[in-house]
Amino acid sequence: MNHKNRSDTPIAICSTTRAVTLSSPTALPKACGFLYNQDMMIQMNCRGYAVAQHMQPEPAKYSRGPNIEATTFMQPEHHYYTDHPGRFFYIKLKNNSVFSLPYEPIRATYDKFTFTHQSHALLWHIEKDGLAFDLTLTLGEGTQELWNLTVTNIGEEMQEIDIYPMFTVGYMSWMNQSARYDESLQCVVATCISPYQMSADYKRIANFKDITYLKSSEKPYAYSCNHSKFIGEGYLQAPDGVLANKLGNDVSNYEVPTAVMQHKTALKPDECKALRWAFGAVQSVHDLEAITLTQSEKLASNHTVSAAVEINTGDSEFDSMVNTWLPRQLHYHGQMNRLTTDPQTRNYLQDSMGLIYLNSAKAREHFLTALSQQHRNGDMPDGILLHKDAELKYINQVPHSDHNVWLMWFLKTYLDETGDVALLDAYAGYKDSTENDSVFAHMSLAMESLYRNLDSRGLSLIKEGDWCDPMNGVGVNGVGVSGWLSIATCGAFFMWAGLCESVGATAEHEKWKQRASALNDAIEKHFWCEQWYARGITDEGRTFGIATDKEGSMYLNPQAWAMLSLPLTPSRTHTLLKAVDEHLMTPFGPMMLAPSYTGFQPDIGRLTQKSPGVAENGAIYNHAAAFYVAGLYTVNKGDAAFDVLKKMIPRIESANVTGQLPVYIPNYYRGAYFQFPEQAGRSSHLFNTGTVAWYYHCVINGMLGLQGGKEGLFLKPNIPSCLSSLHVSRRFRGHQYKLHYKQIPTSIAPYWSVDGERHDLSVPLSKTSSTIEVFYHA
Ligand code: CEZ
């Protein structure tokens, strides 16, 4: 392995596989990675704690906390505690000393510790007391974790050890929970009845995977299925079960279950021993017989995501994120729908927008699924139902006003990337009508819905939130308007007008261009406030997000989207960017608003009740930062855009602040940079985020300028001046383009050339197998 290492940080990225390795269990205690398959996701931290969820069809847990947990969406800044669900391996030496792998709960000192994240596996290598442990987690089929542990005697003496895998089952159900060991299956079988009260609900839970199991490749010497008996008085740090010579072979009978086994082994120097376990959930005991404990090739390839672009800029951290980890995170979003059966409409559409680059056919299906749930009047629902039994829940019962905007962004990105204009003639039904209409007709209605949402001033009503869903106080009485949504709506109208023109719908083109211009005028009149655009006007008529506000005086989204959507003059753009730099920029990226609110402002809403610097209350909210980057590329600010793109990546050199491994982009870093500098920059460790679609889009379309058009692939590069050359490989409409970008002085006009033939940048790229040379201005 060829490792790039920084002396002051315990993280290394392998230059060939891009695996990321952390070599301390204490430096970044929340450092984690995640694995997923069709059915489940597990977020594993470096110390052994786990958050695993499977879909049946709603998200559910098979390894739970010690008490009943509320069901919520995945939370940022997840908190770990002693009893937190985990996967631990106690090791007892002949002299009765005990430690636990990978680190919790005993927290011993190791001679060596590494935690490595590969695309399809998490691996630990730990050395202590003359023993080396190689621990690997991969996922099997369905709800199944596969754990391998190889112990090697690297010392000079014979070693006799006891190995105790301890997998948390936790509090399964207040109705019925118990566990026993099945001799013939070599398996701990913990059963429960998922709690329900209405008779009608029995049908809902009847097919749940209510069995949590731990199956071993080798017959254990003893076992325990009873959590209290296992931990005894020594608790998790010195469990009575491990201190005894032999586990108690305890069952659990309406007692909190656990899954612990005891394996004995004796190893001569250099000798090793491999053990394997499967841990997961099944519906019936019969399903356990088929579990083979081997990782199939097919599953490993589940994670082989075929990226749309491969870059070599010389910045290995940026390259590794763009080439490996980002496509994986995009694929996860496309596949797991953020572990809900009713993803928020805007999330579903933006996640699908990212999927266009990896699997455009799947993305197309998603788009049609969303459109088929549109109301006949053009309104989109607040969530897209993905399962026949799914319902709109939680946030999707709150009326938001922005969903139609995302249809337009999906469609534009899809058509640019695929050239599949036939999509406009594809048919989809409606939620509340038996009619079927073309995508073009659905889109016209979507635009009409956005138009209908304008008030007498010509501004977009916000209802109980727009993109920012905790902004629920602004328009609760139906009067408040959103500056951001007005701007985004204006952009959608311009985009739609452009699309109408391109398909020859001249009258529509004129109509929407005029509507867009009128909206632009209204925006200028009501939201432009000297140096930046205001965020909105409340029900009571208070314009907010302006310089005279003590808190929340400037918001990022209206500025970002003004660049994306409005016909700005260069001087206007200059004023905006200066203001963002002065008020919002930090070393971790731009804050979503500043200063963060420190007290409740009812006319803005729940957002102001979040902790200052957390999430929408002024974090470096990466989704908003990505909009800003997209805006910067729209106005050709390649240097500023690249600067933010780099800041958004969890960097090795700032890992001690972010606390995160560079294996995904988190939804935020703590903001309130000037108010709470101590916490600023800390990662949310949440990898569900609309950021990734936009980030990928920005790199491909913005930075590299590899944009699809009717006639093929065009070049509008925005390469930052700090890069003098770079290599790129880009898949586009089934062809793999190889490009070599070189910066040239502004005295020479930019061009591309292949096999010695020069072309102007307005000419689409040739489908050639040779390398295309691109000569660009920074
Ligand atoms: O969730 C996201 C939403 O899923 O917040 C974004 C919004 O655009 C996405 O659709 C900005 O508001 O309810 C809350 O207060 C939460 O803060 C969620 O809104 C938020 C979390 O970041 C969840 O990941």
Q: Could you read off the pLDDT of 493-513 as tens digits, one per residue?
A: 999 999 999 999 999 999 999
Tell me which DSSP letter residue 226 carries: E
Q: Judge if the beta carbon of residue 468 lies within 6 A of ligand 1.
A: yes
pLDDT at 486: 99
Instruction: Please give the number of the atom of ligand 1 that sits closest to the Cα of 688.
Output: 24
Instruction: Please give the number of the atom of ligand 1 that sits closest to the Cα of 344.
Output: 10
Which of 644, 606, 596 lies closest to 622, judged by CA?
644
How many angstroms does the Cα of residue 468 sit away from the middle of ligand 1? 7
pLDDT at 296: 64
Cα distances from 344 to residues 39, 60, 337, 341, 618, in angstroms, run 20, 19, 9, 10, 22
- Dist CA 398 CA 601 (whole Å): 19
Which of 397, 419, 277 lies closest to 732, judged by CA?
419
pLDDT at 170: 98
What residue's CA is closest to ligand 1, atom 22?
615
Phi-psi region of 114 (alpha: psi -120 to 50; beta: other; left: phi over 0): beta
pLDDT at 181: 98
Question: What is the average per-residue pLDDT within 318-325?
Answer: 97
- Dist CA 760 CA 764 (whole Å): 9
Q: With a cut of 50, say whether residue 724 has pLDDT above it.
A: yes
Burial of 513 from C-beta contacts in 10 A (0-12 / 13-18 / 19+) = middle
pTM over 0.75: yes
Q: With a cut of 90, say whether residue 134 has pLDDT above it.
A: yes
pLDDT in tens, 609-632: 999 999 999 999 999 999 999 999
Instruction: Please give the number of the atom of ligand 1 that sits closest to the Cα of 686.
Output: 24
How many angstroms does the Cα of residue 338 sit away from the middle of ligand 1? 12
How many angstroms does the Cα of residue 556 sit away from the middle of ligand 1? 16
Cα radius of gyration (the chain):
28
CB 387 within 8 A of CB 341: yes
Question: What is the average per-residue pLDDT within 628-637?
Answer: 98
How many angstroms does the Cα of residue 207 sit away from the middle of ligand 1? 31
Q: With a cut of 60, say whether residue 380 has pLDDT above it.
A: yes
> Can the peptide bond before residue 269 be classed as cis, meaning omega within 30 degrees of 0?
no
Query: Residue 395 corresponds to which tokens in the numbers above?
Result: 């946030």
Instruction: Please give the number of the atom of ligand 1 that sits closest to the Cα of 668.
Output: 22
Question: What is the average per-residue pLDDT within 369-373?
Answer: 98
Longest dimension (CA), the chain: 87
* Crossing angle of the two packed helices 360-371 and 326-336, in degrees rounded to 10: 40
Lowest average pLDDT, out of 60-74, 187-201, 359-373, 560-574, goes to: 60-74
Which of 340, 343, 364, 368 lies closest to 353, judged by CA?
364
pLDDT in tens, 661-713: 999 999 999 999 999 999 999 999 999 999 999 999 999 999 999 999 999 99
pLDDT at 327: 98
- Point out the residues that are catalytic: 469
How many angstroms does the Cα of residue 589 sit away from the middle of ligand 1? 19
Triad 718, 719, 723: Cα angle to 5°: 170
Residue 198: which residues within 8 A CB-CB, separation 6 or more?
none
Instruction: Please give the number of the atom of ligand 1 that sits closest to the Cα of 394.
Output: 13
Q: Judge if the beta carbon of residue 73 lies within 6 A of ligand 1.
A: yes
Lowest average pLDDT, out of 68-72, 278-282, 567-571, 682-686, goes to: 68-72
Q: With a cut of 50, say whether residue 639 has pLDDT above it.
A: yes
What residue's CA is closest to ligand 1, atom 14?
470
What residue's CA is closest to ligand 1, atom 15?
470
How many angstroms does the Cα of residue 469 sit away from the middle of ligand 1? 6
How many angstroms does the Cα of residue 177 sit away from the middle of ligand 1? 35
Q: What are phi and psi of 15, to 5 degrees?
A: -75, -20
Dihedral angle over CA of 468, 469, 472, 474, nearest 10 = 20
Q: What percent of the chain has pLDDT over 70?
A: 98
Query: Residue 525 corresponds to which tokens in the numbers above?
Result: 């009149």
Q: Judge if the beta carbon of residue 344 lies within 6 A of ligand 1.
A: yes
Give the pLDDT band of residue 73 (cuts 50, 70, 90): confident
Q: Judge if the beta carbon of residue 470 lies within 6 A of ligand 1.
A: yes
pLDDT at 69: 82
Query: Residue 18 corresponds to which tokens in the numbers above?
Result: 């891009």
Mean pLDDT of the chain: 96
Amino acid 81 reads Y
Q: What percent of the chain has pLDDT over 90?
A: 96
Q: Judge if the beta carbon of residue 346 lies within 6 A of ligand 1.
A: yes
Query: Residue 560 corresponds to which tokens in the numbers above?
Result: 């970002």
Query: Residue 47 corresponds to which tokens in the numbers above?
Result: 């110390």
Cα four-point dihedral sign 612, 615, 620, 625 = negative
Name the residue with tokens 């105790």: 164
530-564 exposure pattern, b = at least 16 Cβ within 10 A, e = fewer: ebbbbbbbbbeeebbbbeebebbbbbbbbbbbbbb
- Dist CA 617 CA 595 (whole Å): 9
CB 715 within 8 A of CB 761: yes
pLDDT at 295: 67
Q: With a cut of 50, say whether residue 3 has pLDDT above it.
A: no
Q: Which of 593, 616, 670 to mutate to test the pocket of ligand 1 (most atoms within 8 A of CB)?
A: 616
CA–chain centroid gap for 199, Å, is 37
- Consecutive H or E run containing 499: helix 483-502
Tell me which DSSP letter residue 325 carries: I
- Dist CA 237 CA 107 (whole Å): 8
Q: Judge if the beta carbon of residue 347 lies within 6 A of ligand 1.
A: yes
Q: Judge if the beta carbon of residue 616 lies within 6 A of ligand 1.
A: yes
Dihedral angle over CA of 711, 712, 718, 719, nearest 10 = -150
Q: With a cut of 90, say whether residue 439 has pLDDT above it.
A: yes
How many angstroms does the Cα of residue 623 sit away from the middle of ligand 1? 10
Q: With a cut of 70, say whether residue 777 has pLDDT above it.
A: yes
pLDDT at 6: 46
Q: Which of 393, 469, 610 to mutate to test the pocket of ligand 1 (most atoms within 8 A of CB)?
A: 469
- Consecutive H or E run containing 366: helix 360-371
Instruction: Please give the number of the atom of ligand 1 that sits closest to the Cα of 347.
Output: 10
pLDDT in tens, 381-418: 999 999 999 999 999 999 999 999 999 999 999 999 99
Cα distances from 302 to residues 35, 53, 119, 436, in angstroms, run 11, 18, 10, 35
- Dist CA 653 CA 40 (whole Å): 32
* DSSP per position, 9-29: SSEEEETTT--EEE--SSSST
pLDDT in tens, 140-164: 999 999 999 999 999 999 999 999 9
pLDDT in tens, 167-179: 999 999 999 999 9
Instruction: Please give the number of the atom of ligand 1 that sits closest to the Cα of 468.
Output: 12
pLDDT at 140: 94
How many angstroms does the Cα of residue 169 sit away from the middle of ligand 1? 30
Q: Judge if the beta carbon of residue 395 lies within 6 A of ligand 1.
A: yes
Q: Judge if the beta carbon of residue 611 lies within 6 A of ligand 1.
A: no
Residue 229: which residues within 8 A CB-CB, separation 6 or more?
240, 241, 248, 250
Q: With a cut of 80, say whether residue 741 has pLDDT above it.
A: yes
Q: With a cut of 70, say whether residue 353 has pLDDT above it.
A: yes
Cα distances from 211 to residues 95, 230, 486, 642, in angstroms, run 37, 20, 51, 49
End-to-end alpha carbon distance in the chain: 35
Q: Percent helix, strand, coil in the chain (nearest 5)?
A: 30, 25, 45
